[in-house]
Amino acid sequence: MGYRWLGWALVAAHFGYLAYLLLGGFAAIRWPRTLPPHLLAAGWAVAVVAGHLPCPLTAAQDAARHAAGLPPLTGGFLASYVRGVCYPGGAETLAQVLLGTVVLVSWVLVAVRWWRPARQRWTGRRSH
């Protein structure tokens, strides 16, 4: 019973990671110290998808499922819980491009917000 709960907690962690991946750059607009962890999260996502690296959360979930007497995920987390639910099956490339675009837009907004002249940032006035 405990391993089933652990498996579901890992599903929740996966979804939390995906939410942070999608929205974490926007959080950095307000809290710039959150940008480095978001860069790491995005880099890891690219490494897993492009480099076909194994995801440690999926490995942990499969281990928990095995301990609970359940079979491993077929095709991994995305194939089991995201594909066909969050985007149509067969649209993986489009979903990845859209996700990447949202992340890049958030980073551009961070740059606009935090890399403008310090005087303008702290006084709220524009330099003329």
- Write the pLDDT tens digit of every residue in 73-123: 887 777 777 776 777 777 888 888 888 899 999 999 998 888 776 556 555
pLDDT at 26: 94
Please indicate, yes or no, if residue 111 is contained in any of the structural domains. Answer: yes
Question: In the predicted model, is pLDDT for residue 4 greater than 90?
Answer: no
Which pairs from 13-19 meet CB under 8 Å and 24+ separation?
A: 13/57, 14/57, 14/58, 14/61, 14/77, 14/81, 15/81, 17/41, 17/57, 18/82
**Is 14 a domain residue?**
yes
- pLDDT higher for 5 or 1? 5
Q: Which domain holds residue 50?
A: 2-123
Is the pLDDT assigned to residue 19 strictly greater than 80? Answer: yes
pLDDT score recorded for residue 74: 82
Number of domains forming the structure of the chain: 1
Q: Is 128 inside a domain boundary?
A: no
Which pLDDT score, from 0 to 100, does residue 123 have?
Answer: 57
